């Protein structure tokens, strides 16, 4: 991905950021070919979460392309922190609410929402607004705070991690949708679709003590991969992640990315991140390591990208 194409700007402390569409196009590689049929990745900008979700799903061929009638579906947001939506520590609750509705309207027999939180799970679920939003839309919200909810599985392509305990809700689901928020992360440098899989694992200490970047890539080789990745970039924490400290850490960029390719979507999301604060691909080692494990492509120039402005 060509770093010279990135649109660069600065953010005043505490100020919201409005990115222009030309900047988004540059961030997603100006030479990629936009097509109408079956895009590999969709980028939407300028709308509210529900409207951007609908545009993305429509461009991809509809939610029915990824889930089928009667299936049990898991939606996995980031709910890791006891933070309100304005601080961008967790996935936007309005996006989760809309996605639950779309899954149920498509005929899902059950939609389950969970995360293995870092802060107290009851506070995270409440402060994030996700528990209330998901339940209002018709989802079942389950905790991830106890080892009894997790079962050991092999990690087939893992380099550092060969086995992990994974939440039973995900293992029992027919399909699942990965819905991270794009943000800065002190340890991993960058938190998005690949990093969000750490929230399905019980013991994450091994990740931090045994090559975090490789371990993030390893867990993405889990046999049950997400049917779709949807990146919430309505608000983006560009510093002091993953918790954030104040509104000064947040930029409002009103964007959303969607793709079944977890490596491509993280590559594109890094392009968005770089519009606010420079972060080199080499610092986010798990993206390249994911490509090496054949989980997807970092070469956005070779992908069909659909860009939509609302």
pLDDT tens, residue by residue, 154-195: 998 999 999 999 999 999 999 999 999 999 999 999 999 999
Query: Number of structural domains, the chain?
Result: 1
Residue 167 CB burial class (10 angstroms; 0-12, 13-18, ≥19): buried
pLDDT tens, residue by residue, 16-57: 344 555 555 656 654 454 445 689 999 999 999 999 999 999
Q: Which pLDDT score is estimated for 38?
A: 84
Q: Which pLDDT score is estimated for 4?
A: 31
Are the C-beta atoms of 76 and 179 separated by less than 8 Å? yes
pLDDT tens, residue by residue, 273-286: 999 999 999 999 99
Separation CA 194–CA 29 (nearest Å): 20
Q: Which pLDDT score is estimated for 60?
A: 98
Separation CA 36–CA 21 (nearest Å): 18
- The confidence band for 2, taking pLDDT boundaries of 50, 70 and 90, is very low
153 has pLDDT over 90? yes
| Domain range for 165 | 3-309
Q: Which pLDDT score is estimated for 24?
A: 58
pLDDT tens, residue by residue, 85-119: 999 999 999 999 999 999 999 999 999 999 999 99
Could you tell me the CATH number of the domain that includes residue 197?
A: 3.40.50.11440
Q: Which pLDDT score is estimated for 236?
A: 98
If you average pLDDT over residues 221-240, what whole number do you get? 98
Strands 110-113 and 140-141: parallel
If you average pLDDT over residues 79-84, what whole number do you get? 98
5 has pLDDT over 50? no
For the chain, the farthest-separated pair of C-alpha atoms sits apart, in whole angstroms, at 49
In DSSP terms, 28 is beta-bridged to none
How does the average pLDDT of the chain come out, rounded?
Answer: 91
Q: Which pLDDT score is estimated for 13?
A: 31
């Amino acid at each position: 991905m060509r770093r010279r194409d990135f649109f660069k700007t600065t953010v005043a402390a505490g100020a919201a950021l409005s990115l222009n569409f030309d900047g988004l196009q540059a961030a997603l590689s100006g030479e990629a070919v936009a097509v109408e049929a079956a895009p590999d990745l969709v980028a939407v900008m300028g709308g509210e979460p529900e409207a951007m979700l609908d545009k993305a799903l429509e461009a991809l061929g509809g939610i029915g392309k990824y889930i089928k009638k009667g299936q049990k579906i898991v939606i996995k947001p980031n709910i890791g922190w006891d933070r309100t939506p304005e601080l961008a520590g967790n996935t936007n609750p309005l996006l989760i609410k809309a996605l639950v509705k779309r899954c149920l309207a498509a005929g899902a027999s059950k939609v389950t929402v969970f995360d293995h939180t870092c802060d107290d799970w009851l506070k995270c679920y409440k402060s994030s607004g996700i528990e209330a939003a998901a339940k209002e839309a018709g989802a079942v919200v389950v905790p991830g705070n106890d080892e009894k909810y997790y079962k050991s599985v092999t990690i087939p392509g893992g380099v550092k991690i060969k086995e992990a305990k994974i939440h039973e809700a995900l293992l029992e689901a027919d399909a699942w949708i990965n819905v991270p928020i794009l943000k800065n992360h002190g340890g991993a440098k960058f938190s998005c679709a690949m990093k969000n899989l750490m929230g399905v694992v019980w013991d994450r200490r091994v990740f931090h003590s045994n090559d975090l970047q490789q371990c993030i890539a390893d867990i993405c080789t889990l046999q049950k991969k997400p049917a779709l990745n949807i990146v919430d970039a309505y608000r983006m924490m560009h510093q002091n992640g993953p918790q954030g400290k104040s509104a000064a850490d947040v930029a409002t960029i009103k964007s959303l990315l969607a793709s079944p390719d977890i490596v491509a979507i993280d590559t594109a999301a890094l392009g968005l991140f770089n519009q606010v604060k420079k972060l080199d691909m080499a610092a986010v080692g798990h993206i390249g390591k994911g490509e090496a494990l054949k989980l997807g492509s970092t070469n956005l120039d070779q992908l069909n990208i659909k860009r939509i402005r609302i």
